[in-house]
Amino acid sequence: MSEPKSGAAKGVIGQRLPLVDARKKTTGEAVYTDDIRLPNTLVGKILRSPHAHARIKGIDTSRALALPGVAAVVTGAENRANFGVLPISKDETALAVDKVIFVGDQVAAVAAEDEEIALEALGLIQVDYEVYPAFLQPEDSLKDVADPAHKIHARTVGETNVHKQVDQHFGDVDAALKDARIVRRGHFEFGSVTHAFTEPHCVIARYDTDGKLTLWSATQVPHYVHRALVEVTGLPMHAIRVIKPMVGGAFGGKSDPFPHEMAAALLSMKSGRPVKILFDREEVFLSHHGRHPTKTDIAVALDRDGKISGLDLKVLIDGGAWGSFGVVTTYYNGVLSAGPYDVSNFRYSGKRVYTNKPPCGAMRGHGAVNSRFAFEVLLDEIAEELGEDPCELRLKNFLPEYTTTINEFRITSNGIAEGMLRAMERSGWKEKYRQLPPGRGIGAACGFYISGSALPIHWSKLPQSTVHLKIDMDGGVTVHAGTADIGQGSDTMLAQCVAQVLGLPMSRLRVYTADSDMDPVDLGSYSSRVTFMAGNAARRAAEQIRTELIEAASRLTGYPAEGFVLEDELVVYTPLPRIRMSYMEALTEALADRGALIARGSYQSPPMGGKFKGAAAGLSPTYSFQSYISEVTVDEETGFVKVEKVWAAHDCGRALNPIAVEGQVEGSIHMGLGQLLSEQFRYHDGNVLNPNLLDYKTLSAKEMPEVECILIESGDPEGPFGAKECGEGPLLPILPSVANAIHDAVGVRIRRLPVTPEDILQGIQKNRMERSDVAAKIRVA
Amino acid sequence: MLLPRFELHRPSSVDEALTIAARHAGDCDFIAGGTDLLQNYKNRLNPRGHVVSLLGIDALQELSPTRIGALTTLARIEESETMRRELPILVEAASKVASPLVRQTATLGGNLLVETRCYYFNQSEFWRRSKGYCLKAEGDVCLVVPQKETCYAAFSGDMAPALMALGASARLKSLDGERIVKLTEFYEGDGIKRYVLRPGELVQGVELPPSATSLRGAYRKLRLRDTFDYPELGLAVTLGMEGEKIRELHVCAAAMETVPLCFDDLTGSLHGQPLSDSLIQLLGERIVKRVKPVKNTALSPNYRRKMVMVYLRRMLEQLATAGN
Ligand SMILES: Cc1cc2nc3c(=O)[nH]c(=O)nc-3n(C[C@H](O)[C@H](O)[C@H](O)COP(=O)(O)OP(=O)(O)OC[C@H]3O[C@@H](n4cnc5c(N)ncnc54)[C@H](O)[C@@H]3O)c2cc1C
Ligand code: SF4
């Protein structure tokens, strides 16, 4: 469905290519962490807290240790080292130290000959708890805690359980609200959703007799695991090797270094044998790190010119038990609302609190989804109140390309208006909006998202991505990178970038990634950074090799290097195309007397952004943009929503591989619809009531609408071949576009997610009553 | 999750199965497809030391409009041309159970005896221990309706209401002999007791009256996702008309209470009356008044009750026109 901007360019970029690991995955040949069987491996199991909040008065592991077949037991008393993904909030330990802070918190870990023994051993560990009051509602965590011992973490704002507070103000929001033509306010509540990836967490740790620790783990960020292992094990970084095997989905849920990874390492160091820990599904739910539930108060002002003159956001964020990425989340709930519209006055106040529930973290669309929903729904309401077309209202307010937002984000390529127009045209918007029969509706919403966080989590002068290439006499190209393919296709992307520059088919490429001994450091798969950053690094490395091949061709032919190009496995002198040679001939010459060609390319974001506190949050070398239109049918008697079709326009800069981009868009739509319509952690006190895939309602294929992907290729000047992200942004507009469509269908506004059929039914009935009230009044008058 | 240890027996006849079960009375379960039992075992929900697999008993595999063996898989019912022609309501109900993959192994017998469900019961050992267990397994108090006598776990099988509405009976066998019990009388008691099946007795299958094929029937299921999910309400309606008048009408429901419900006492008096909007409305109101779901599944009890009315009306309207 995407049309390349300028004819069909040669090479593999822009082609619909199957992912390089697709065959292996579909045939079962792919090796995931649990498929790895090292000799002599012990089974690791974790004893978890049955309490939401309690002091550990004592742990007696002696009976477990005495059980035949038990090789090692560890508890928090033996290792109190703190770690955490963000250097500013390292509040985790491998195992609970002194107290437990959610149901499922790791208390002790056992390594045994088999699973049955390990489980029996867990039952033999005696833990003596003093139960503390649990903080389950975020509002309770705002208050001062009477007994400091009952604070969830020591480091918080004052005597409260507030983890992070952010206050930002650009322009004068109060004045904007006062002078506005129209102001809309809303209070929104968002439930807790999780990634529900297919592959449960799994880790193998092997501490060998050379004193080296190797860790295989289902992670999106091997490098952060590597760093955390240093802190917890005390081993030097060079004595630790982290490998990410094939990963079966992550969506942000595998981007923290995890306590179970630390526990596996400690168990292996203690027992001298490899230890594997594989989670069951309930453990995956308890480990969580999903989207932060929020309570969002928002006001949007439109001035007399129809411009968005004010955005006022106040968000209470329920962080659960740990910090995780929460400081970033707290910023993102605000700062990522300062677009894709030109918002002239903007204020944000966000508070993230600790509660005694499974920790929240990063999840696809990190931090941006809930505020985006509130903003886009209010825009729809404003358009309705003014009797305007909500798409036109948006078109009037979009940021242009090459501009700066009020909070000093540097905007470069931007195809949002084109996307909006194309989606309107393809969906027949003008003929449908407000004109569909009752029960049927259409709605629009937009979004934008970072394409890689411009600033790394750990301050460092190291590049954010580095790629190594090697070509030897066999003519194959080996790509080495620390990137983590988690199913999104980053290995394929690297191969494409290199193949394109060298004019080679994909079959010559072999990609080795995510092994810290073999591959250069990459910051990993989060913040939608890999295509942009590692893609650029790969391209740069390949360009060096290209130069060497061209110089070899120039030497062999005597023609100047400037005229040569590489395509279709040939090196061709373009002024005189009959002067050409095969790639292998050029390579053989290039290798003569020196051996394999080696190259290194890297990427580092350029300096950008403002100078104010928190200015770095949300900065990205470029942003993706989305304009969606969704059409729904609502059953007016049951309240069930059927999403019929989505026209999803996404500006990904350049679709390096349209199949992969469409896959991300469709997957994002599936995930977003789950948050809107069905997914939610339910709690009974501190216990997750639905920690399984039957009761946690991820939508099925049957609920998926038809999706028409409209790929907008704005051609980013700094992106590899013009590309930018497509993995997260496409999630943002699906929720509000469907919510707006529901309103168009049955006149019900949504303020709480997930919205159940019952909520919608109640809304419909309330409308009916109000209407008949009005009718009755008219009759009386 | 690891299964607890048990000894698996594989008899090849019903009598052999019954003898083994008698030998291990009190510590024994039958197993057919295992799609229900094994998950419960993994959760340590009342596991037993002995499990008797019925899969080797060919005699329980039959499938016809008048007799369906307990081991007949739901996929076979779903795919059977004869059933689709003669008793489409059963095909409809079977095709709505779980997922295509589960239906390959799920059996009719297992479906009739599927364990009742509750948020506080269908949990891991870890989860339940942290809550102090409940009446239905290891504990002594109900966590949904706090008291110590009755369990409110919901009967969540899809086949039972459809079969009930067709007038089906269960064929039971124990070492004491065979007996045939109408499905409407088979289920009784709370979420723990559930049915009249005696310890050591097994279900050989169901029997349907030949007249069942003359009824028009429909089965509809309320759930959030259109696959995979257990019913939040499963409504079966069968209707026989004589001209414009009702000859026979049965309405049965799953997932409202601890047993599947049959409202013959409310529909019996309607025979001979024309199927009018007001009749449907009145019947619906009476049924809604009768059912008492509790808060232990995904959708609220109030909403589930409301949907009885909507479903009933839609189904009766559909069946009324289907005959014309
Ligand atoms: C993901 C998932 C979704 C599901 N969704 C649904 C759903 O939507 N609707 C639904 O109805 N069910 C659902 N089920 C439950 C189950 O799959 C079906 O009810 C199935 O028909 C049970 O049959 P089975 O042969 O697997 O039973 P088993 O697990 O073998 O047995 C179930 C019970 O019946 C007993 N039993 C079995 N056969 C006999 C017999 N002949 N005589 C005496 N006792 C016997 C067993 O001892 C056990 O107590 C679901 C299951 C899963 C895993
Ligand atoms: S209804 Fe009560 S007793 Fe029955 S399973 Fe649920 S919590 Fe336990």
Per-residue pLDDT of A611-658, as tens digits, reads 999 999 999 999 999 999 999 999 999 999 999 999 999 999 999 999
d(CA A550, CA A552): 5
Q: Do B227 and A687 touch (CB under 8 A)?
A: no
What is the tens place of the pLDDT at every residue in B108-151?
A: 999 999 999 999 999 999 999 999 899 999 999 999 999 999 99
Lowest mean pLDDT among A61-75, A365-379, A449-463, A489-503: A449-463
**pLDDT of A9:** 57
- CA nearest A263: which of A83, A403, A114, A390? A83
Kindly report the nearest CA distance between residue B82 and chain A, in angstroms: 27
Span from the CA of A638 to the centroid of ligand 2 (angstroms)? 28
- The H helix count followed by the E strand count for chain B is 13, 11
Q: In Å, how far are B61, B108, B312 from B88, measured between CA atoms?
A: 20, 16, 18
Please report the ipTM that was assigned to this predicted complex.
Answer: 0.96
- The mean pLDDT of A674-682, rounded to a whole number, is 97
Q: Which of B40, B45, B116, B120 to mutate to test the pocket of ligand 2 (most atoms within 8 A of CB)?
A: B120
Tokens of A608: 């950008």
**pLDDT of A773:** 76
Whether the per-residue pLDDT at A401 is higher than 60: the answer is yes
- The mean pLDDT of A121-133, rounded to a whole number, is 98
Is the minimum distance from the CB of B93 to ligand 1 under 6 angstroms?
no
SS3 A298: strand
pLDDT band at residue A779 using 50, 70 and 90 as cut-offs: low
Whether the per-residue pLDDT at A729 is higher than 90: the answer is yes
- The mean pLDDT of A529-553, rounded to a whole number, is 98
**pLDDT of A4:** 40
Placement of tokens 């289907």 in the chain = B322
Span from the CA of B178 to the centroid of ligand 1 (angstroms)? 23
Index of the ligand 2 atom closest to the CA of residue B118? 6
Tokens of B238: 């069968």
pLDDT band at residue A5 using 50, 70 and 90 as cut-offs: very low
Chain B residues close to A756, C-beta within 8 Å = 299-300, 303
Whether the per-residue pLDDT at A333 is higher than 80: the answer is yes
Is the minimum distance from the CB of B30 to ligand 1 under 6 angstroms?
yes
Q: Do A695 and B298 touch (CB under 8 A)?
A: yes
Chain B residues close to A687, C-beta within 8 Å = 127, 130-131
- CA nearest A102: which of A319, A340, A253? A319
Q: Do B130 and A691 touch (CB under 8 A)?
A: no
A534 contacts A542 by C-beta, under 8 angstroms: no
Q: Which residue(s) pair with B246 in the sheet?
A: B241
Span from the CA of B257 to the centroid of ligand 2 (angstroms)? 12
A775 or A479, greater pLDDT: A479
- CA nearest A530: which of A547, A514, A508? A514
- What is the per-residue DSSP string for A605-670? PPP---SSTTTTTT--S-EEEEEEEEEEEE-TTT--EEEEEEEEEEE-SS-SSHHHHHHHHHHHHH
Q: Do A684 and B119 touch (CB under 8 A)?
A: yes
Whether the per-residue pLDDT at A144 is higher than 60: the answer is yes
- The H helix count followed by the E strand count for chain A is 18, 31
Nearest-ligand number for the alpha carbon of B193: 2
Index of the ligand 2 atom closest to the CA of residue B151? 4
d(CA A420, CA A399): 13
Q: Do B225 and A697 touch (CB under 8 A)?
A: yes
Q: If you ran DSSP here, which 8-state letter would residue A241 be given?
A: E
Is the minimum distance from the CB of B144 to ligand 2 under 6 angstroms?
yes
**pLDDT of A2:** 40
- The mean pLDDT of A27-36, rounded to a whole number, is 98
Q: Which of B131, B134, B225 to mutate to test the interface with A (most CBs of A within 10 A)?
A: B225
Q: In Å, how far are A343, A537, A606 from A412, measured between CA atoms?
A: 17, 20, 13
**pLDDT of A334:** 98
Q: In Å, how far are A56, A132, A144, A160, B238 from A148, measured between CA atoms?
A: 16, 12, 9, 9, 65
- The mean pLDDT of B28-52, rounded to a whole number, is 97
**pLDDT of A3:** 40
d(CA A122, CA A112): 10
pLDDT band at residue A781 using 50, 70 and 90 as cut-offs: low
SS3 B112: helix
d(CA A238, CA A438): 66
- The mean pLDDT of A180-189, rounded to a whole number, is 98
**pLDDT of A778:** 67
- Sheet with A641-651, edge to edge strand ranges: A440-450, A623-634, A641-651, A706-712
What's chain B's average pLDDT?
96
**pLDDT of A7:** 40
pLDDT band at residue A771 using 50, 70 and 90 as cut-offs: confident
Q: What distance separates the 2 farthest-apart alpha carbons in chain B?
A: 60
Q: Which of B129, B136, B138, B193 to mutate to test the pocket of ligand 2 (most atoms within 8 A of CB)?
A: B136
Q: Which of B46, B53, B113, B203 to mutate to test the pocket of ligand 1 (most atoms within 8 A of CB)?
A: B113
Q: Which helix (H) or strand (E) holds B231?
A: none
- CA nearest B127: which of A193, A696, A697, A283? A283
**pLDDT of B1:** 86
Chain A residues close to B122, C-beta within 8 Å = 695
Q: Dihedral sign for Cα A350, A352, A358, A359, please.
A: positive
Span from the CA of B292 to the centroid of ligand 2 (angstroms)? 15
What is the tens place of the pLDDT at every residue in B150-178?
A: 999 999 999 999 999 999 999 999 999 99
Q: Do B303 and A116 touch (CB under 8 A)?
A: no
Kindly report the nearest CA distance between residue A351 and chain B, in angstroms: 31
Q: Which of B 281-300 lie inside 8 A of A, CB atoms?
A: 298-300
Q: What phi and psi values does residue A49 have, to the nearest 5 degrees?
A: -70, 130
Q: List the single residue in A with minimal CA-CA distance to B228.
A: A694
Index of the ligand 1 atom closest to the CA of residue B201? 43
Tell how strand A275-278 and strand A182-190 pair up.
unpaired
Q: Do B130 and A115 touch (CB under 8 A)?
A: no
Separation of first and last alpha carbons in chain A: 57
What's chain A's average pLDDT?
96
Q: What phi and psi values does residue A482 have, to the nearest 5 degrees?
A: -85, 5
Q: Which of A282, A682, A699 sits opposite B124 (nearest CB)?
A: A282
Is the minimum distance from the CB of B135 to ligand 2 under 6 angstroms?
yes
**pLDDT of A772:** 82
- The mean pLDDT of A35-62, rounded to a whole number, is 98
**pLDDT of A325:** 97
Q: Which burial class, exposed, middle or buried, applies to B301 when counting CB atoms under 10 A from its CB (0-12, 13-18, 19+)?
A: middle
- Integer-rounded Cα radius of gyration of chain B: 20
Q: If you ran DSSP here, which 8-state letter would residue B74 be given?
A: H
Kindly report the nearest CA distance between residue B324 and chain A, in angstroms: 25
- The mean pLDDT of A442-459, rounded to a whole number, is 95
- The mean pLDDT of A117-123, rounded to a whole number, is 98
A155 contacts A270 by C-beta, under 8 angstroms: no
Q: Taking CB atoms and an 8 Å cut-off, how many pairs form between chains A and B?
A: 67
**pLDDT of A512:** 98
pLDDT band at residue B323 using 50, 70 and 90 as cut-offs: low
What is the tens place of the pLDDT at every residue in B71-113?
A: 999 999 999 999 999 999 999 999 999 999 999 999 999 999 9
A771 contacts A748 by C-beta, under 8 angstroms: no
SS3 A308: strand
Is the minimum distance from the CB of B75 to ligand 1 under 6 angstroms?
no
Whether the per-residue pLDDT at B47 is higher than 70: the answer is yes
- CA nearest B306: which of A761, A745, A640? A761
Q: Which of A122, A684, A765 to mutate to test the interface with B (most CBs of B within 10 A)?
A: A684
Tell how strand B202-207 and strand B67-69 pair up.
antiparallel
**pLDDT of A8:** 44
Span from the CA of B106 to the centroid of ligand 1 (angstroms)? 6
Confidence (pTM): 0.97
By residue count, chain B amounts to 324
Chain B residues close to A50, C-beta within 8 Å = 126, 129-130
For B175, other C-beta atoms within 10 Å of its C-beta total 11
Q: In Å, how far are A188, A508, A533, A536 from A599, measured between CA atoms?
A: 52, 17, 17, 14
Span from the CA of A745 to the centroid of ligand 2 (angstroms)? 39
Whether the per-residue pLDDT at A50 is higher than 50: the answer is yes
- The mean pLDDT of A683-707, rounded to a whole number, is 97
Lowest mean pLDDT among A41-50, A704-713, A736-745, B134-143: B134-143
**pLDDT of A10:** 80
Tokens of A24: 């292996």
Q: Which of B 209-268 lie inside 8 A of A, CB atoms?
A: 222, 224-230
